Structure 1
Amino acid sequence: MDFSPMTEALASKSFEKIADICDNLMLQAAAEGIAFQGEWPFAVHLLGYIFVNDINSARFLWKSIPLAIKESQPEVVAAWKIGQKLWVRDYAGVHEALRGFDWSQEAQLLVSAFTELYGKRMFELLVSAYSTISIQDTALFLGMNEEDATNYVLQQGWALDPASRMLTVKKLPVVTEQRLDPNKLQRLTEYVFHLEH
């Protein structure tokens, strides 16, 4: 089986394409009657779904993986562990699962990119959901120790109350889109036309 499209996507850091590429390769292999049990990149395929936050598809792929593969390839199990933690919204557990395995080179590219993306998502979640939050909870969400989490959010403009060990979240400015009322635009056009003539 030619995995070069997947390899090229990994090399070009087109991680959002990995799941689709693997799906297409799997369909192609099935159409050609190719049995790919042992050499199929199940871990990368799972991580591709996880990267695009398609946990349902990752779950179905996991269920379709033969037991022999699950037992013989610990990286596949480690990839699914991330999916399990996402499924139950165990935010701290996701970080532990990401760090808790010595990933292959291909998988490491995806894991590193997802770790960064997930950290950004968690920070945005904290900003949108909290006005104040404890240092401990912030560290759990961000997958950092308390000192690093505190330093990180303070750099983002948050405030710390050392006595209560609570952080005050700095809300991002809300950007509102200005919409032109077609009636106002028509009146303005008529007014300008009237001035010119």
Structure 2
Amino acid sequence: MSIWKCCCDFVCSNSARFLWKSIPSSIKESQPEVTAVWKIGQKLWLRDYAGVHEAIRGFDWTQELQTLVAAFSELYTKEMFQLLLSAYSTISIKDTALFLGMNEDDATNYVLQQGWTVDPASQMLIVKKQPVVTEQKLDPSKLQRLTEYVFHLEH
């Protein structure tokens, strides 16, 4: 299970709300980063995809948390891209930018690098579906039959 899935499952559970309620007000008031992280959690809970990016950018994170928040933001953007990839065959540039938390030019460049194209007539992005890779497992009985067949041909 990915860290992303664990975070989302926790944030979208009642446990997150109970944790928030159990944090003393004095900590919430003296530690503004706690409140800022909670805002991100609320946006995740509400599936406000653009709001998550706004909450991340809307706070001046301390040096200690900047790396963690930047890593989360990058992972969140990648997950949103995967969501778009699986859910859409075409999507507007504006909607793509909202999901990815970018301006329209940056979002367009991001998806074009992933092989998507822009329909010049409609100005819609055409999603390039990734090929589904299925891993075939070798059945030992099939290998045994093939070995016996080759052996039979040689003798």
TM-score of Structure 1 vs Structure 2, range by shorter chain: 0.7 to 0.9
Superposition TM-score, scaled by structure 2 size: 0.86
1:167 paired with 2:143, answer no
Which whole-Å CA distance do the structure 2 matches of 1:190 and 1:151 have between them?
A: 55
Unaligned runs of 5+ in 2: none
Given that residues 51 and 114 in structure 1 are in contact (C-alpha distance below 8 angstroms), is that contact kept between their aligned partners in structure 2? Answer: no
Q: How far off its partner does 1:79 sit?
A: 0.5
1:66 paired with 2:24, answer yes
Q: How far off its partner does 1:132 sit?
A: 0.3
Q: How far off its partner does 1:107 sit?
A: 1.4
What is residue 78 of structure 1 aligned with on the other side? Answer: 36
Q: How far off its partner does 1:78 sit?
A: 0.5
What is residue 46 of structure 2 aligned with on the other side? Answer: 88
Which deviations, in whole Å up to 9, do the C-alpha atoms of 1:12-54 show, x marking residues without a partner?
Answer: xxxx6xxxxxxxxxxxxxxxxxxxxxxxxxxxxxxxx998433
Secondary structure in structure 1 of the residue aligned to 2:52: helix
Q: How far off its partner does 1:194 sit?
A: 3.0
- Aligned residue type for 1:67: S
Superposition TM-score, scaled by structure 1 size: 0.69
Which deviations, in whole Å up to 9, do the C-alpha atoms of 1:115-164 show, x marking residues without a partner?
Answer: 11111111111111100000010000000011111111112111112332
RMSD of the TM alignment (CA)? 2.1
Q: How far off its partner does 1:173 sit?
A: 1.2
Which deviations, in whole Å up to 9, do the C-alpha atoms of 1:43-102 show, x marking residues without a partner?
Answer: xxxxxx998433135433222101222222221110000000001110000000010000
Q: How high is the sequence identity, in percent, across the aligned residues?
A: 78
After the TM superposition, which residues 25-104 of structure 1 pair with which residues of structure 2 at under 5 Å, given as runs? Answer: 52-53=7-8, 54-55=10-11, 56=13, 57-104=15-62
Which whole-Å CA distance do the structure 1 matches of 2:80 and 2:114 have between them?
A: 14
Secondary structure in structure 2 of the residue aligned to 1:160: strand
Unaligned runs of 5+ in 1: 1-15, 17-48
What is residue 127 of structure 1 aligned with on the other side? Answer: 85
Report runs of 4+ in structure 1 exceeding 4 Å deviation. none
Secondary structure in structure 2 of the residue aligned to 1:167: strand
Change (3 A) 1:167 1:115: same
- Aligned residue type for 2:101: G
Given that residues 139 and 145 in structure 1 are in contact (C-alpha distance below 8 angstroms), is that contact kept between their aligned partners in structure 2? Answer: yes
Q: How many pairs does the alignment contain?
A: 150
- Aligned residue type for 2:37: A
Which whole-Å CA distance do the structure 1 matches of 2:17 and 2:40 have between them?
A: 11
Secondary structure in structure 1 of the residue aligned to 2:91: strand
Secondary structure in structure 2 of the residue aligned to 1:133: strand
Change (3 A) 1:169 1:50: closer
Q: How far off its partner does 1:165 sit?
A: 2.0
1:148 paired with 2:106, answer yes
